[in-house]
Amino acid sequence: MNEITLHGEKKLVLAAGRAHPELATQVAEELGTELLPMSAYDFANGEIYVRSGESVRGKDIFVMQSHPAPLNNHLMEQLLMLDSFKRASAKRITVVSPFYPYARQDKKGRGREPISARLVADLYKTAGADRIMSVDLHTAQIQGFFDGPVDHLFAVPMLSDYIRSKTEGEDLTVVSPDTGRVRVAEQWAERLGGAPLAFVHKSRDLTVPNQAVSKQVVGQVEGRTCVLIDDMIDTGGTIAGAVRVLQEAGAKDVIIAATHAVFSDPAAQRLAECGAREVVVTNTLPIPEEKRFGTLTVLSIAPLIARAIREVFEDGSVTSLFDGVA
């Protein structure tokens, strides 16, 4: 295995679970290194076994794992990897979770609910993590759940640069699917040349998961190309409903942009049939061929993660990667 050595002392090692080998390989290539050889398999009863093929003693190790379905299996595998590296005397352990697990459960909406995102942070810490790195957290407050450094990476610059290149000369409006994403929409608007903002009013029954009703749009959308943004697309119901509301309000075109393509069924069908001109996502999560469709564009997040890993390893500035986006 190749290692990155700094000043003849620090040694960087990149390890990855089995959830998204394509992204892990891309990050390793961007870093100019190889993935740590790992042995990982499941026992007949579902227990997971992991073991590093090489020594990690005294090394700065980055443990990368995406969390597609079945999320719990991949989270457990990552926790076991952390524990194994801690017990193998790694010098510093950084969790790299491009899609932070349980991020939507970041507060108590009703009595007797868990704050699951906080629990995940506690599990990471207990298993041996010194630091966490993630992309586009569902809410920024999750950074405060972990007792240690959290590097919050942003896909907005990459996504907005791509969309700007595809919409030159068009009248754009940035649309948030709800009021909770307005702050992020402002960042999008700034990067798209000061485009006006709009948001879709929706209602949600807290007792029913993955179900929201988009009702009306507030803002200037008639005759304009609407860039509909979100951090994740799960079943696609909310985003497809927002496209319908925008079209009924007179939008010329709709382009969907999201970081995390969860794509639980029937998301792919909904997105393919919703009437959006293009659906742009990143590969923080693996997207199997059966969930890809003609209007889907997938951008690689690997260069961003690799640059952030290098900055952390070299004690540089992760904030400098985002040109003021925070």
Distance, CA of 289 to chain centre: 19
Contacts for 242 with CB less than 8 Å, ≥ 6 apart: 175, 177, 200, 202, 214, 217, 228
**H or E element at residue 272:** helix 267-273
Q: Which of 265, 264, 257, 259 is nearest to 283 (CA)?
A: 259
Q: What does the alpha-carbon distance between residue 52 and residue 54 come to, in Å, rounded to a whole number?
A: 5
Write out the catalytic residue numbers: 202
3-state secondary structure of 151: strand
Phi, psi of 280 (to 5 degrees): -110, 125
SS3 298: strand
DSSP letters along 71-122, please?
Answer: HHHHHHHHHHHHHHHHHTT-SEEEEEESS-TTTT--S-SSTT---HHHHHHH
Residues 6+ apart with CB under 8 A from 300: 23, 26, 282, 283
